[in-house]
Every structure is written in structure tokens, then in C-alpha cells.
């Protein structure tokens, strides 16, 4: 019955993580979500839903300074467009990197853990992200966890149990754990409905397809369009 | 002529660091200071002074969430008193620890460095602090620097050039570099004038004495009281 701090947005990966930590450790969860000026603030609506459902306490921390310091990221700057119609690759997605975002969020999570005398902090870095986002790599997690253990009285560990998993494997785990994916949000663009065309929409469609499920967030019509669009992207890549 | 990001408050150590980085690297300095609800917000007045004088750009970042997450620290909570009349020791000063403060400040500094494409971030951890503040220790700096290099495209290093220096040695260096210490602030308590009795006041008095100077921030009368108080503390310790 260990206590944990879990960093989560309202995306598929971190909501699955929340269920996984609940299932594996069983103790009370202190949930932490962040608003750093991201376009897809909509995911926070879902974060709040899960926070209420699965956490002993859930806080949404506002980072007003991120927009100012991350002037070159399409996720926080309205004048830079989120790339659409492409899968993730280091070149085309570099613009979606919010510099050092995970270290900032994790350092705040570690502070809260230290204040609560909890010695485990979880976040949902996964294998698909490692190419584009250096702060999702295993070696980063290991070094940061060491710094965190050395820098706190409670020797707080930072853990990323999905760091070797592909997104499709996380979705499989989520299905096993009974996660309601209709209450998760991924799209980077930040409109009322998912754009179906940004890299994270494409990745989400693919992960659902690989598990033989329809994305439960989407209407039947949206799902058809999403699948069709994924085929187009792959055709373009081959030709 | 390398560019640097320097984290500094308005204290003796970090103001000396600012001069040291200027002298050693010569390139433009991007200065970063933080208001995290500390009682001694007064130091920021001096931080602004030095930011204007020595930095190409200086930002003061507000961390509104610190007060909430650091509920047990005397530095951020008005209901907990700052201990007075004692030197630093792990037991009596634990209450002045703001959990994981340095990792939070450094992770934000690293984000700014990454955005600016600068690959060096400096902060003023020093040897006297290592006993009480785990995030001032050399092994912490090394691990965090590794995480930062792994987590950024610019491979940003975190450096603490004073990590092996005693405060009195930093003051000596400051004297050599011509730092105007009358424009620095140390006291934790946050009154109009330094309290002369908290651990950081005592340490400051001692560092000045060891270098044969009067603390230029203090009036002659305050200085006499500060020296007298230091003698009392040491007498009490011996008897």
C-alpha cells in the first residue's frame, strides 16, 4: 500500500499509467497535472475527471512562465502551427518540443512528494516519444531519478514504467485494465474535436487499430476519416 | 565569449557567481531569479539591481505553486518561524529547506537555456550548505547536469563552480572581483533590516570577519551587534 505521486495529463498514456499504479501499488495516489499554456488544454478537462475518480488528491499546477521561455514551440505559441499529415520524426516534430518540459514537471512533482513524505513519482514517458523528445528517454529518467534521490530527504525516485513500451502496448494494457479511453484526449491542435491529422492523432489511431478497437473518443464518421487518413499518410510514405 | 544562463538571488554567493561568470567566460549573461513566496523577497530588489548591471537580459520568474507544495518550510510559510540564534546544522535548519527548490529553479533555467541555445547554466551551491540542503551537494549537481544534458537538444550543462568552496572563500573571491556587497541581502527573516540572528546572518557575519572586512550592508552599530552576537553563539556552543 505505497503512496505515489503520479504526473498525468488527460492523454491515453498517462491515464493508463494512473490505472496501472493504482492496480500495482494499491496505495493512495496524489495526482499532478500541469497547464503550461498548451493548445490542447482540453486534455485537462479529462485530467480533472480522472483526478476526481482515482486520486486521493489532485492538483492542477499553472506554469505561467512556460509560454515566455518556450518561444519556439508550436505547443505553446499561437503563431507557430502544429505540423499535420506526418508521423512523428525527429525533423518534422522538433517544433512540438517544449524545452525541458518533463524535467520541470517532474521537479515540481518531486517537491510535492518530498513535502508529503512520499518516495515515488511516476510519469508516462514511452518508447514512441524517444526519437523526438529527449526528456522521454530511459537514460534521462535514470539520471533524473538519481538527482532526485540525492536532492531530497525522502530519496524520491522518479519512475517511468512505460519507457520501453510502444503506444500500442500501452493501449493494450489500458484495455486489460478497463480504462475508458473515451475520457482521454490526445490531439495537439486544440479545437473542439480532434483534428485527426496531427502526429499524435495519427499515433492514437494507429495504436487503436493495432489493438483491433475503434477509438471510443471518436464518432463512427470521425473514426472512418481517421483510418482513411492514416492509410493516406502511409501510402505517401511508401510512394 | 560563451553565453551563459546564471541563476541568482540577491545574496552574496550568487552575486559573486555572477561576477565570476562574467570575468571567466566574458560572454552575454542571461540572468534568472525566482520569487517563490520566500520571506526574504527583499533580496530580489538586489537581484534586479545586478540583473540590470551585469546581464544582457534578466527575468524574475514567479512560482506561485511553491507556497502550496512546500507547506512545511519556514522560508515560505508565515506560520512557521525562522530559527534564530543558531548556526547551521542539519537538525535545527531542516525547517528552512524548501523541498527540491534547486531542481525546480534549475529545470526552468535549463528550459530557458535550451530555448536560447545556450549550453551552460550556473548556480551558486556552496560547501557550507551541503549538510542541510541536499540539493546543494556535488553529487546532486553531477546527476542533474547529466539529466539536463540528456534531456535537451543543446546538451545543457548545469555547473556549480562554488560547490567545494566555503562561504568565507566565496567572500574572498568577491572581494578580489570587486563585488559591492552592500548591494546584497542574506537574512531569511524578511524584515526591513537584517535580523543578525538567523543562521544565514550569522554565517554572513562570520564570512566577513574571516576576511577582515566589516559587512558593508550594515551600519557600524549593526555590525557591532552582529559580531557580539556571533561571539555569544560560539560561547554557548563551547560551554
pLDDT tens across A63-111, in order?
988 887 877 666 666 666 666 766 656 566 666 667 889 999 999 999 9
Are B108 and A153 inside 8 Å of each other by CB? no
Q: Is residue A229 part of a domain?
A: no
pLDDT score, position B128: 81
Q: With beta carbons less than 8 A apart as the criterion, state whether A88 and A128 touch.
A: yes
Instruction: Report phi then psi at B153, rounded to 5.
Output: -70, -30
**pLDDT per residue as tens digits for the range A149-166:** 999 999 999 999 999 999
pLDDT of residue A229 exceeding 50: yes
Which of B94, B98, B150 is opposite residue A134, by nearest beta carbon? B150
Residue B155 Rama label (left phi>0; alpha psi -120 to 50; beta): left
Are B104 and A94 inside 8 Å of each other by CB? no
Q: Is residue B224 part of a domain?
A: no
Q: In whole angstroms, what is the distance from residue B179 CA to residue B10 CA?
A: 12
Helix (H, G, I), strand (E, B) or coil at A57: strand
Number of domains into which chain A is organized: 1
Q: With beta carbons less than 8 A apart as the criterion, state whether A154 and A119 touch.
A: yes
Q: With beta carbons less than 8 A apart as the criterion, state whether B179 and B24 touch.
A: no
Our measurement of the distance from residue A65's CA atom to the centroid of its chain's CA atoms, rounded to an integer in Å, reads: 20
Q: Is residue B137 part of a domain?
A: yes
For chain B, say whether A115 makes contact (Cβ under 8 Å). Answer: yes
pLDDT of residue A11 exceeding 50: yes
Which of A62, A148, A150 is opposite residue B139, by nearest beta carbon? A150
Which of B64, B106, B152 is opposite residue A99, by nearest beta carbon? B152
| pLDDT digit string (tens) for chain B, length 239 residues | 789 999 999 999 999 999 999 999 999 999 999 998 877 678 899 999 999 999 999 999 999 888 888 777 666 666 666 667 666 565 666 666 778 899 999 999 999 999 999 999 999 999 887 777 888 899 999 999 999 999 999 999 999 999 999 999 999 999 999 999 999 999 988 789 999 998 889 999 999 999 999 999 999 999 999 999 999 888 876 54
Residues of chain A with Cβ-Cβ distance to B93 below 8 Å are none
A:B CB pairs within 8 Å:
133
Q: Is residue A198 part of a domain?
A: no
For chain B, say whether A60 makes contact (Cβ under 8 Å). Answer: no
Residues of chain B with Cβ-Cβ distance to A35 below 8 Å are none
Are A103 and B147 inside 8 Å of each other by CB? yes
pLDDT score, position A184: 96
Q: Is residue B171 part of a domain?
A: yes
Residues of chain A with Cβ-Cβ distance to B100 below 8 Å are 107-108, 110-111, 114, 148, 151-152, 156
Element (H, E) at A33: strand A26-35
pLDDT score, position A239: 47
Q: From the CB of residue B211, how many other CB atoms can be counted at a distance below 10 Å? A: 15
**pLDDT per residue as tens digits for the range A194-206:** 999 988 899 999 9
Residues of chain A with Cβ-Cβ distance to B62 below 8 Å are 64-65
Are A100 and B151 inside 8 Å of each other by CB? yes
Q: In whole angstroms, what is the distance from residue A52 CA to residue A42 CA?
A: 16
- Residue A192 class from Cβ within 10 Å (0-12 exposed, 13-18 middle, 19+ buried)? exposed
Nearby residues of A70 by Cβ (< 8 Å), 6 or more positions away: A36, A37, A76, A77, A98, A99, A101, B111, B115
What mean pLDDT, rounded, does chain A reach? 89
Q: ipTM of the predicted structure?
A: 0.88
For chain A, say whether B30 makes contact (Cβ under 8 Å). Answer: no
Q: Each residue of B212-232: b (16+ CB within 10 Å) or e?
A: eebbebbeeebbeebbebbee
Q: Is residue B227 part of a domain?
A: no
Q: In whole angstroms, what is the distance from residue B64 CA to residue B92 CA?
A: 27
Nearby residues of B79 by Cβ (< 8 Å), 6 or more positions away: none
Confidence band for A220, pLDDT divided at 50, 70 and 90: very high
Task: Give B87→chain A minimum CA distance, Å.
Answer: 20
CA distances from B218 to A73, B19, B117, B185, B214 (A): 47, 22, 41, 10, 8
Nearest to A101, CA basis, from A36, A7, A189 = A36
Looking up cell 489511431 gives A205
**CA atoms within 13 Å, Cβ hemisphere of B164:** 2
Q: Is residue A119 part of a domain?
A: yes
Question: Residues A17, A23, A24, A26: is their CA dihedral positive or negative?
Answer: positive
Are A144 and B135 inside 8 Å of each other by CB? no
Our measurement of the distance from residue B146's CA atom to the centroid of its chain's CA atoms, rounded to an integer in Å, reads: 22
Domain that holds residue A26: 2-181
Q: With beta carbons less than 8 A apart as the criterion, state whether B100 and A144 touch.
A: no
CATH classification of the domain holding A127 = 3.40.50.620
CA distances from A30 to A51, A174, A178, A209 (A): 9, 20, 21, 32
Q: Please report the beta strands in A68-175, taking only residues with DSSP state E, as ranges in sequence order.
A: 120-122, 157-159
Q: Is residue B176 part of a domain?
A: yes
Question: Residues A216, A220, A224, A225: is their CA dihedral positive or negative?
Answer: negative
**% of residues, chain A, pLDDT over 70:** 87
**pLDDT per residue as tens digits for the range A27-40:** 999 999 999 877 76
Residues of chain B with Cβ-Cβ distance to A132 below 8 Å are none
Amino acid at each position: 500500500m505505497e503512496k505515489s505521486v503520479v504526473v498525468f495529463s488527460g492523454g491515453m498514456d498517462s491515464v493508463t499509467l494512473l490505472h496501472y499504479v493504482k492496480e500495482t501499488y494499491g496505495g493512495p495516489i496524489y495526482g499532478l497535472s500541469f497547464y503550461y499554456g498548451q493548445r490542447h488544454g482540453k486534455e485537462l478537462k479529462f485530467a480533472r475527471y480522472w483526478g476526481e475518480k482515482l486520486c486521493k488528491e489532485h492538483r492542477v499546477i499553472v506554469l505561467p512562465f512556460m509560454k515566455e521561455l518556450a518561444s519556439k514551440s508550436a505547443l505553446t505559441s499561437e503563431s507557430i502551427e502544429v505540423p499535420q499529415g506526418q508521423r512523428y520524426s525527429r525533423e518534422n516534430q522538433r517544433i512540438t518540443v517544449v524545452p525541458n518540459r518533463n524535467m520541470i514537471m517532474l521537479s515540481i512533482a518531486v517537491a510535492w512528494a518530498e513535502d508529503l513524505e512520499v518516495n515515488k513519482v511516476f510519469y508516462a514517458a514511452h518508447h514512441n516519444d524517444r526519437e523526438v523528445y529527449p526528456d522521454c528517454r530511459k537514460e534521462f529518467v535514470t539520471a533524473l531519478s538519481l538527482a532526485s534521490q540525492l536532492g531530497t530527504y525522502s530519496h524520491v525516485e522518479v519512475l517511468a514504467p512505460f519507457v520501453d513500451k510502444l503506444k500500442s502496448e500501452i493501449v493494450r494494457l489500458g484495455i486489460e485494465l478497463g480504462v475508458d479511453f473515451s475520457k482521454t484526449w490526445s490531439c495537439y491542435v486544440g479545437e473542439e474535436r480532434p483534428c485527426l491529422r496531427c502526429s499524435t492523432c495519427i499515433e492514437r489511431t494507429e495504436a487503436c487499430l493495432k489493438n483491433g478497437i475503434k477509438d471510443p473518443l471518436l464518432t463512427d464518421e470521425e473514426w472512418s476519416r481517421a483510418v482513411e487518413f492514416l492509410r493516406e499518410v502511409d501510402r505517401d510514405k511508401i510512394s
